[in-house]
């Protein structure tokens, strides 16, 4: 299979966050919200592919957007990509978010780089009410506000230091939102501690949710076992593969580190 795709646009969104728009009929025609792609970083230094969520799909333009933070060697190499370059991309991979057309009121809660896979949920979901709650470290870390505004009916932003939006964590926004109005479904992605606290809050109110897990990956296809995470299985527990069984799981299935 030809995995080489052309980059239509490459843009720096903030000091360390980059967007790459990739032309791919193969991926855009079959991808759904919450799935990811596994990218071969340019050059020989980085051997393993790097998993990045699909942030946005334009099915008519046959493109997908990925948005990523520079963390190490692989993402630094990706940040040098320019329009017209090509990338070797495997995907779409994994299990994405569940979109139930009967849900009329949905909420997405994202923290930091965890906001990216949530945009396509808002784009694809037919719900009448779509609330987006986004948390960032500070004002300079806030990205994609216009896009989330466009596809939600209500957007609230929190920053840890209060330099933009409401001061506090996204969990505080969630607590407020669910005390005023009960969503039919909540979609969550962010740091593990944030997801754990969101799941706990929602469990108390018996509101269903899905979380997108981030785990270091090797093969990205269920063959190497690098990406194992603990999940409930009846009254027992088991290991699941984030790459194949996830990255999206029902919130009540995940056994978080502190449990
Ligand atoms: C399903 C999935 C979807 C993802 N989607 C996005 C996305 O949309 N945008 C984005 O910015 N990032 C995303 N990530 C994280 C991204 O894959 C890592 O940041 C990237 O692989 C780091 O590669 P590197 O070579 O730059 O850094 P490395 O040199 O490999 O590592 C640098 C630092 O990042 C940490 N790290 C590396 N990989 C991971 C990981 N998978 N989880 C947690 N910590 C890690 C390392 O422990 C180290 O501290 C996703 C990860 C997964 C598993
Ligand atoms: S990354 Fe290899 S099994 Fe998941």
User: pLDDT digits over 56-86, tens only?
Assistant: 999 999 999 999 999 999 999 999 999 999 9
Position 259 confidence tier, pLDDT thresholds 50, 70, 90? low
Q: Looking up tokens 């593990």, which residue turns up?
A: 192
Do the domains spanning 4-93 and 105-253 agree at the CATH topology level? no
**Residue extents of the structural domains in the chain:** 4-93, 105-253
CA distance 10 to 94: 25
Q: Domain 4-93: what homologous superfamily?
A: Translation factors (2.40.30.10)
Given ligand 2 and candidates 91, 214, 217, which is best to mutate, with the most ligand atoms within 8 Å of its CB? 217
Nearest residue to 104 via CA among 66, 124, 130 = 130
Overall pTM surpassing 0.75 (yes/no): yes
Atom of ligand 1 nearest to the CA of 247: 1
Q: Where are the beta strands (DSSP E) in 59-123?
A: 63-69, 86-93, 105-111
Per-residue pLDDT, 45? 85
Q: How far apart are CA 91 and CA 76, in angstroms?
A: 21
Distance CA 5, CA 91 (A): 11
Nearest-CA residue for ligand 1 atom 20 is: 50
**pLDDT band at 234; cut points 50, 70, 90:** confident
Q: Is the pLDDT of residue 1 over 90?
A: no
* pLDDT score of 180: 87
As a CATH number, domain 105-253 is 3.40.50.80
Cα–Cα dist 117/99, whole Å = 13
């Amino acid at each position: 299979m030809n995995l080489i795709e052309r980059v239509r646009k490459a843009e720096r969104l903030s000091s360390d966050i980059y967007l790459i728009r990739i032309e791919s009929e193969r991926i855009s025609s079959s991808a759904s919200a919450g799935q990811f792609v596994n990218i071969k970083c340019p050059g020989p230094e980085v051997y393993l592919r790097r998993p990045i969520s699909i942030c946005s799909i334009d099915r008519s333009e046959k493109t997908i957007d990925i948005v990523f933070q520079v963390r190490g060697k692989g993402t630094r190499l990706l940040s040098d990509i320019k329009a017209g370059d090509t990338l070797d991309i495997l995907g779409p991979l994994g299990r994405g978010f569940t979109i139930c057309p009967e849900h009329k009121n949905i909420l997405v809660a994202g923290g930091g780089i965890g906001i990216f896979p949530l945009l396509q949920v808002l784009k694809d979901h037919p719900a009448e009410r779509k609330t987006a709650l986004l948390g960032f470290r500070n004002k300079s870390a806030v990205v994609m506000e216009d896009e989330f505004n466009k596809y939600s009916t209500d957007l609230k932003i929190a920053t840890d230091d209060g330099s933009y939006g409401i001061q506090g964590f996204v969990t505080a926004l969630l607590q407020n939102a669910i005390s005023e109005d009960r969503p039919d479904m909540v979609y969550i992605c962010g740091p593990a501690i944030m997801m754990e606290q969101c799941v706990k809050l929602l469990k108390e109110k018996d509101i269903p949710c899905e979380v997108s897990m981030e785990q270091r990956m090797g093969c990205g296809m269920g063959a190497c076992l690098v990406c194992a995470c603990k999940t409930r299985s009846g009254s027992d527990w088991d290991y699941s593969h984030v790459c194949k069984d996830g990255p999206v799981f029902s919130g009540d299935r995940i056994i978080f580190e502190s449990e």
